[in-house]
Amino acid sequence: MLKQEVYGRPLVYLDNGATTQKPLPVIECIRNFHSFKNSSIHRGIHFYSERATEEFENARKTVQQFIHAEKSSEIIFTSGTTSSVNGLAWSFGERFIRPGDEIIISEMEHHSNIVPWQMLCERKGSVLKVLPFNDDGILEIDRLDALINNRTRLISVMHISNTLGTINPIRTIIEKAHENDIPVLIDAAQSVQHIAIDVQQLDCDFLVFSGHKIYGPTGIGVLYAKEKWLHELPPFQGGGEMVDVVTFQKTTYTEPPVKFEAGTPNYIGAIGLAEALKYVTSTGLSGILQHENALLDYGFQQLSQLDFVKLYGQASDKSSILSFNLRDIHYYDAGMIIDKMGIAVRTGTHCAQPVMQHYGISGTIRASLGMYNTKEEIDNLVGAIKKVRDMFV
């Protein structure tokens, strides 16, 4: 992918927040599994089924180690962040939410951490409360205390904003929540690929992320939950594998995590994800972060010097995202021209319309960084932005 040309120019891929490109070992691992190892897991006692099951369960252990969960049974495979949040919202809602109960999210959330909670509120007559952010794109954490009360049942926040790049103070949020016996869900879709996560140190109750944003395949994601929750929560899907005994009168469920993995799971996706996590680990997350931070600082500095560029997200604690508009030029027009120069950026709301509403805009241009981006590519982006300005002024 990264060696390709678009419109006769080398591709500059700056859309890593949307999805990442895959390392060759990940591609090879998936190809190899399809070619030589494919068999459905859990169901057979034959040779290949048993081997596939073992690899799938090893993938679960790799995820466990990557986020430092206490047990591999706390790792549930889903199809991605969106399905993790939806599944949890349904399940948590069924078990714990009554009319008048409250859920807190933040103003900067991705739609996938807003809409499932709104759907739950509609279903159960509960209330969604929102922690705002200031114009620099920083959560107004001091206002959290005023939002928490004895009806608060859950706080769900993103670790890193996909529109602003802000790294949120999730440790503080988790501590405050736990002082009030409130569980916390962390949307780590934009953070696992940049920052080492230790769910035990963080002490979060739930954490979700997608495989495709951390150099793994699409269609696979993770819902981490502390073990105690997995015994209390009902399954969010029914079907094969998640059962113990099925009769027409009553069905009993098997133990977590399989209780939450109805049907044939995306076992090849899980194995591909594990390969991606191994790749990231062997490359070194701290080195990746250092590299991306250097590029971010450089890009931010370059763009700040251009008086026709308005940058969104001024937090000092920031990661991998440059979100901006060019004065008097629509982001779609700018994005189209930038694309013609071989540079892939994203334009629009980035599935976070409330962030756009905060600033009174309808969208931004977003450049998002990955481990393979270079300083030259940032220079290309800055050059393209200047060209856009020259064309329009």
Return the active site residues. Answer: 351
Helix 81-96 × helix 115-124 angle, to 10° = 20
319 contributes a contact to ligand PMP by CB under 6 A: no
The angle at the Cα of 300, spanning 165 to 209, to the nearest 5 degrees, equals 20
214 contributes a contact to ligand PMP by CB under 6 A: no
Find the binding residues for ligand PMP in span 78-107 (CB under 6 A).
80-82
Least distance from C-beta 218 to ligand PMP, angstroms? 8
User: Is residue 136 within 8 Å of residue 315, measured between CB atoms?
Assistant: yes
Find the binding residues for ligand PMP in span 163-192 (CB under 6 A).
187, 189-190
Q: Which is nearer to ligand PMP, 6 or 18 (CB)?
A: 18
193 contributes a contact to ligand PMP by CB under 6 A: no
Q: What would the two tokens of residue 293 be? A: 């931070």
User: Is residue 81 within 8 Å of residue 187, measured between CB atoms?
Assistant: yes
269 contributes a contact to ligand PMP by CB under 6 A: no
112 contributes a contact to ligand PMP by CB under 6 A: yes
**Three-state SS at 225:** strand
Q: Which is nearer to ligand PMP, 55 or 109 (CB)?
A: 109
User: Is residue 81 within 8 Å of residue 112, measured between CB atoms?
Assistant: yes
Least distance from C-beta 123 to ligand PMP, angstroms? 21
Q: What would the two tokens of residue 363 be? A: 């969208």
194 contributes a contact to ligand PMP by CB under 6 A: no
Least distance from C-beta 51 to ligand PMP, angstroms? 29
Q: Which is nearer to ligand PMP, 258 or 351 (CB)?
A: 351
Query: Within a 10 A sphere around the Cβ of 120, how many other Cβ atoms?
Result: 22
CA distance 161 to 319: 9
Size, binding site for ligand PMP by CB under 6 A: 13
Q: What would the two tokens of residue 234 be? A: 């009902």
323 contributes a contact to ligand PMP by CB under 6 A: no
Least distance from C-beta 82 to ligand PMP, angstroms? 3
Q: Tokens 């409360």 identify what position?
A: 129
Identify the helix (H) or strand (E) that includes residue 171: helix 170-179
318 contributes a contact to ligand PMP by CB under 6 A: no
How many residues does the structure list for the chain? 393
351 contributes a contact to ligand PMP by CB under 6 A: yes
Give contact residues for ligand PMP (rule: CB under 6 A): 80-82, 110, 112-113, 158, 162, 187, 189-190, 210, 351
